[in-house]
Amino acid sequence: MFLESDLAHWPRIININLMGVVYGCRYFLPDMVAAGGARHVLNVASTAGIYPAPSMAAYSASKHAINVLTEALKMELVDSDVSFTTVFPGIINTPLAANNSAVSPSVPEAQRAKNQAYYQANGCAPEIVAQDMVRAVQRGSDICLTGPGAALVYHVKRLSLGLLRRLMISKAKQIGYL
């Protein structure tokens, strides 16, 4: 929860999630533009970058920033041969949820274990995300919605923010985030 969160966690999450993408784009894009010919950048955000989940304020803010950064780059480089896809993974079965360095120290061990069990039970394999990313590049897609929940969050947000908020709160209570 935000009110119990460790403020030292924020810069770490911002530096990893957002600044990692910023540095990658800043250092690779000049050479990609100079090389000429079709080039493609995939920036990985998260479904949390479309709409946040409770207890994930820092993560969601950093992933939303990737979405906005990528949109800005699409406009700035519109006259180049570089195209972009913003990737919005949903629930992916990785050990990230249980990784102590990936979550705030204020999240108890029991909650991290519960999160990991949820990701294992409901997440798709990382290989599915990779396949969807390749398809997105092949199709020249602006966005890539991949993994459980991604398309649902994207489309419900477009229909009703209130409904999406209620769904997210309900799911958060179900899995113990609230």
Query: Do residues 42 and 87 make contact, with C-beta atoms less than 8 angstroms apart?
Result: yes
Is 59 a residue of the active site?
A: yes
Name the catalytic one among 27, 59, 118, 154: 59
Q: Within 13 Å, how many C-alpha atoms sit on residue 147's CB side?
A: 25
Catalytic center residues? 59
